[in-house]
Amino acid sequence: MQTLMLNSKPRKGSTGNTFTIEVIGDSPVKDKVREAIQALEHHPAKASRRSIIDLLGIIEQFNFQIRFTEHYLEDELEGWTFIVQG
């Protein structure tokens, strides 16, 4: 079983807010997940909802099971963390 952490990192910038998806872990599938993230049409996302939709799409694409979810605010922007296994 492979375990990864997918994190939506919110950032405030001079041109607006962005939400970047970050992959953390030592799983062999990590590079494939990164490639899938780079292939997303809206990455980095400009809205929190787009970011969570993309995260859930990646979880479904790789048939991961969600083991832990955290929702947080960073600089008044929504962020999400998922620990997944597959």
Checking if the pLDDT of 15 tops 90, the result is: no
Indicate left, alpha or beta for 62 from its phi (over 0: left) and psi (-120 to 50: alpha). Answer: alpha
pLDDT in tens, 27-69: 899 999 999 999 998 889 999 899 999 999 999 999 999 999 9
Rounded mean pLDDT of the chain? 93
pTM for this prediction: 0.89
